[in-house]
Structure 1
Amino acid sequence: MKSEYDFSQGEQGKFYHPDATFHYPIYLEPDVEEFVTKIAEHKKIEVQALVNEWLRNNIKLIQSIE
C-alpha cells in the first residue's frame, strides 16, 4: 500500500446512483439452513423462494392479527 495517493484527477460522485437498491445477504444458522434446504429440495424450488414464501405468509398472519 502506498503511503500517499493522488486523487487530483478524481471525479466526485462518478459511481453514485441515488436510485440504486441494495440486497443484503442473510446468513442462516447451520441447523436452520439444513432444514430449509431439505424442504426446498423436496419442493424442487430455490431456498430463496421458500424463505420469501414463508416470510410473506408470516407478514399476512401478523397483518391479520393487527
Structure 2
Amino acid sequence: MKKIKSEMADELRSEYKRSDFGEIVRGKYANRIKEESNVVLLEPDIAQAFPNDEAVNKALRYLLEIAEASSRLTRRSS
C-alpha cells in the first residue's frame, strides 16, 4: 500500500470530481428527523428528578389522570 503525502491527504483522488457528487446541503434531512423523532430534551433540573424514562412516563401518566379527573369534576351536567 502506498503512503499518501500529508499535503495530498485532503485532496480528492484524480478520478473523483466534485461535480459528480451534486449539491451539498447542510441539514438537508434535519427537519424530517425532527418531525419523526420522539426525543424530548429535559432541562437539567428536571432531569435530576427523574432517574430514567420509566419514571418520566409514570409521572406524566399520573398527571394525565389528575387532569382528566379534575376536568370531570368541573364540567357542568346539562
Q: TM-score, normalised by structure 1?
A: 0.49
